[in-house]
Amino acid sequence: MNVVIDTSIWISALIGKEGASREIIRQALKQNVSPQMSMTLFLEYEAVMKRKKIQNRCPLRVKEQQELFQAFLSVCTWNEIFYLWRPNLDDENDNFLIELAVASNSKVIITNNIKDIAYGELHFEIEVQTPGTFLERYRV
């Protein structure tokens, strides 16, 4: 199943030793879900990972983080975005997640920020779920 994994999930998995976000990344690494990637999402992951606040909370050394990130990227399917839908989400910076989901034919966007993504002017048949809800619903 194609899914878009929001940066909030990646960061939660990095800084938390357990939890649903970490399980989502584990399932991606096991190839039980097919995470979709775009250049915009990649750049956001990279930028947020490097924040001092995140580095201070992460139990992994920088080299280990990079290795995990490379492993994650190796199971991602890269997508080029040719059409910008602009669903006008409350947080305009999240529009690219909808665009990636549409371009990759993803059924679900997995995020910890449902309120930021679920409501826009354009509506698509894409579910927006927390990691816990996704794991319960799809039993991956």
Q: What string of pLDDT tens digits covers the 140 residues of the chain?
A: 999 999 999 999 999 988 999 999 999 999 999 999 999 999 999 999 999 999 999 999 999 999 999 999 999 999 998 766 665 556 566 788 988 999 999 999 999 987 766 555 555 678 999 999 999 998 87
Cα within 13 Å of Cα(76), Cβ side: 22
pTM: 0.90
Q: Is the dihedral of CA 72, 78, 81, 87 positive or negative?
A: negative
| Cα distance between residue 139 and residue 91, in whole Å | 30
The strands making up 77-78's β-sheet, listed across from edge to edge, are 77-78, 34-37, 2-5, 108-110, 127-129
Q: What homologous superfamily does CATH list for 2-138? A: 5'-nuclease (3.40.50.1010)
